[in-house]
Structure 1
């Protein structure tokens, strides 16, 4: 819970700064002082508070906050991205307009000398246009250039155009992302050669799924659809590589129950992800085991199939490092240290980063999730800074790493550039 509160605090500060920027670009720059600017300011404040309120509220069971809060989080993200991208062309456009206005400004001619008559004073009113004529100055016409070289009318029009473009783009991308995230998971088939795999085991198939994320926005129907899709694959093994839930067994036990219907020839396996540690990992380990999945907690299982032998190992999530008991952190030595090195081994580990340590134990293949494939472009670029592989097949120090995009989502019900996915990994003898 402390980890969640810390995350919410950081997110609240970040979203506060983001909403300040959005207020400047979408409200202050597009309105005159007065009623509408005040309304926009209040709306920005309410939306800024909605994000941390949603995260805390859903933890407390206020699930009605989930849809408006998470949808706004997605729209906010894409508003920020589009407006930041527009900063450069907007700046260039303002500079070009300023130069054109300055070039079009008429030059002031030097005054002609005026002859002054001698002697007698006159009381006649001066003629218009003569030096010394009285009268107030003419007010500047609408659209006139100010002393600073700006045209307020054109600047306002430019700001409103950018705001409309950003709003339409952000809502359009979010709508597409919602449709993708709530749609059926795509099947990804991949063949991976393993040098140690016996020829008799060539073609062994492992159905791999991660990041199902049962929670306030996804329930039992989501699990049923995933189970049905996996069962259609007629796989030899099933691997569920973490982040099954975002909530307790009491809240989500019925939603996870369809997992008991998973079918495979040689076994169904599960390893913990970081979100299990936010949701009561001890209870979930027992619940998943009760549903018929073998939970590999720093353990290894020998698979004898087709006249060959394969080791399937699993480690607890990296985020549990330093903990003990049933919720203990990863222990690669316990899972891999005393195995027969002539056998191929497939390691189930939630985070791709685990491959850095797994490579020291000669792991042939690691199956992971966690990244969601980035979930929303361009966030995938940020994920690359933390994980060695974001999506698909890669390699870390000689260990092959396959990362599936996940079948669910976390936070906003949005996926852009990373469809939900179930993967069928086919092992081939090299």
Structure 2
């Protein structure tokens, strides 16, 4: 069955690429008399194959080119029908045809430039919450997720994260999954795990796995690497931190042996504020019913590329940012990295800083 789905995907992807290529060639030919069909075909085939090949061959260049091309194809499927309709309603005027191509080209250029900036230039979002009516102290938490370390995202981007951590000086750091992008190869080669030793937080650094941490079958190795570099990885486990709060870290939904919230809460000290880490924010409402005080998630990327954010909003109770449900304070980050195209439209790479009053 998997091969059938893959074949259908290839057919649909091929048709989409052909549709975009056909419209592009027609614009070039009618507007400028472009006649280099063979060269044009070779370029289009290379761009189209690059995306597929990037899943087979470990190549940063192929992944970047394939991701950019996939994004252009996706937005073309949204914009080209509208452009063609306007051209048809205008009486097929050559000037309209020429201008439409220029406008689309400008739009694609903006998508690549703005999308790259949003992906590679992370921001910090600040929130303040109070867990008691009469707080006596403040603790600063840093939440990061969806690093997707791999062929494209490496140590250079991690250095940006380390700089932000040093700048913010949090009391505790929470890493809500998807540390790697499906396999450990690049993570090991670039010795990214060593960078986690630089994370300085007096109340500890805590992590849970995300779905991509499972896909390559390297979760045990990833867990070992993180733990040996000062990160407390919680796999359906909990830990009491200096008598201040309890952290419960969940396995990802990908793991069929994952415990329920009810099972995890059996051994939690409800006299302390309970902070739950769950990569995918599917069970946010359920967590509220079990008196969890805070829940940290990632996974959604806030859709990463518009209009993906509309889909994540429809799926998740809190797909991005902050939402309070009864006593529960839910935080979902759009992530520090990205998956697939090295672009973000309608979202931005980020970390979240939370000042918690206890």
TM-score bin (small chain): 0.7 to 0.9
Name the counterpart of 1:366: 295
Q: Within 5 Å, which residues of 2 pair with 1:21-420? A: 21-28=19-26, 31=29, 35-37=35-37, 39-57=39-57, 61-88=58-85, 90=86, 94-95=88-89, 97=91, 154-155=92-93, 157-183=95-121, 185-195=122-132, 199-200=135-136, 202-253=137-188, 254-279=191-216, 280-304=218-242, 309-320=244-255, 322=256, 328-395=257-324, 399-420=328-349
Distance 2:333 2:5 in 1: 25
Name the counterpart of 2:15: 17
Check 1:396–1:48 CA distance in 2 against 1; reply closer, same or farther (3 A cut).
Answer: farther
Q: Deviations over 1:313-365 (max 9, x none)?
A: 11011222x2xxxxx43542342233233432111111121314323322121
RMSD: 2.9
Distance 1:36 1:396 in 2: 60
Distance 1:50 1:351 in 2: 30
Distance 1:87 1:282 in 2: 52
Distance 2:104 2:205 in 1: 46
Contact 2:21 2:44 in 1 (8 A): yes
Q: Deviations over 1:170-205 (max 9, x none)?
A: 12221221133222x21111012324x8723x4211
Distance 1:8 1:188 in 2: 39
Contact 1:75 1:171 in 2 (8 A): no
Contact 1:273 1:317 in 2 (8 A): yes
Name the counterpart of 1:124: none
Distance 1:7 1:277 in 2: 22
Distance 1:424 1:213 in 2: 20
Unaligned runs of 5+ in 2: none
Distance 1:237 1:391 in 2: 21
Distance 1:357 1:318 in 2: 14
Distance 2:222 2:4 in 1: 23
Distance 2:333 2:356 in 1: 16
Distance 1:295 1:210 in 2: 14
The TM-score normalised by the length of structure 1 is 0.73
Structure 1 counterpart SS, 2:75: helix
Check 1:73–1:330 CA distance in 2 against 1; reply closer, same or farther (3 A cut).
Answer: farther
Q: Deviations over 1:205-228 (max 9, x none)?
A: 111111111111121222232123
Bigger radius of gyration, 1 or 2? 1
Which gives a bigger RCO, structure 1 or 2 (Cα 8 Å, sep 6+)? 2
Structure 2 counterpart SS, 1:169: helix
Check 1:159–1:38 CA distance in 2 against 1; reply closer, same or farther (3 A cut).
Answer: farther
| Equivalent residue pairs, number | 353
Contact 1:246 1:275 in 2 (8 A): yes
Q: Deviations over 1:131-153 (max 9, x none)?
A: xxxxxxxxxxxxxxxxxxxxxxx
Check 1:224–1:68 CA distance in 2 against 1; reply closer, same or farther (3 A cut).
Answer: same
Distance 1:220 1:8 in 2: 33
